[in-house]
Amino acid sequence: MKKAFPILAFLTALLLACGTYQALVVAPTERTMGDLQRIFYYHAPCAWTAGCLFFVNLVASIAYLLRKNPRVDALAVSSAEVGVVFCAIVLVTGPIWARPAWGIWWTWDIRLTTTLVLWLIYVSYLVLRHFSDSAQTAKLAAVLAIFGALDMPLVYFSIWFFRTQHPQPVIGGGGSLDPRMLRAFLINLLAFSCLGAMVCWARYRLEIVKREVEEAEALESLLEVGPSAAVSKAKTPLRGEAQ
């Protein structure tokens, strides 16, 4: 597994470079929005990657509730952290795109609002994991993650079910893309998916090492306290003994 990580990193860097070239050079300029539309090649793949990571978090959270496996819990934490970062990128690039296109930075559109709610739920998940020391923290966080995942279908299908300012999907929604645009989008979709997987993998390995160190420190503390308590007890005079 360790040997596979550098290979994934190299392929990810290659795909990101190729995707950038396709998005900024090869893909034609959109007639209505001009070069502003090129943010689409980063905004949409980041949204896809965030959704995939939150789905991994959902599966890991359910598996943890069923089996109480700490490694599965570590995967849940790692995927949530990386997913929040990608979702934050979506929330930043969206207003940058919206300001010239709509004339405003933010509107309480159903797609935008549900995405913000999704981000806030998973930020709350991470705050709970970071600041709570309870033995039930992992279980409570898993329940919160499952609750947060219920918002994902609403985010995705909101532009079909509600009237919204957000553009309709160009793939699978009756729209169409120039073949060069589609190629740029698919390459970036794969590139950002690989980037999300790579960062999540690295974060998962770090979380495992962190937990192993914490367990070793806890065991060492117990071993130190044990002999110390025994020595202290031996030095304590028995009741009735001469002082």
User: pLDDT tens for residues 148-196?
Assistant: 888 888 887 776 665 665 565 655 555 567 889 999 999 999 999 999 9
**Domain range annotation of the chain:** 4-235
- Residue 231 or 221, more confident: 221
- Residue 238 or 31, more confident: 31
| Whether this model's pTM surpasses 0.95 | no
- Predicted confidence (pLDDT) per residue in 21-77, tens digit: 999 999 998 888 888 889 999 999 999 999 999 999 999 999 999 988 999 999 999
d(CA 101, CA 115): 19
CA 187 to the chain's CA centroid: 21
What residues does 34 pair with on adjacent strands? Answer: 30
CA 56 to the chain's CA centroid: 9
* Structure tokens, 136: 């039930």
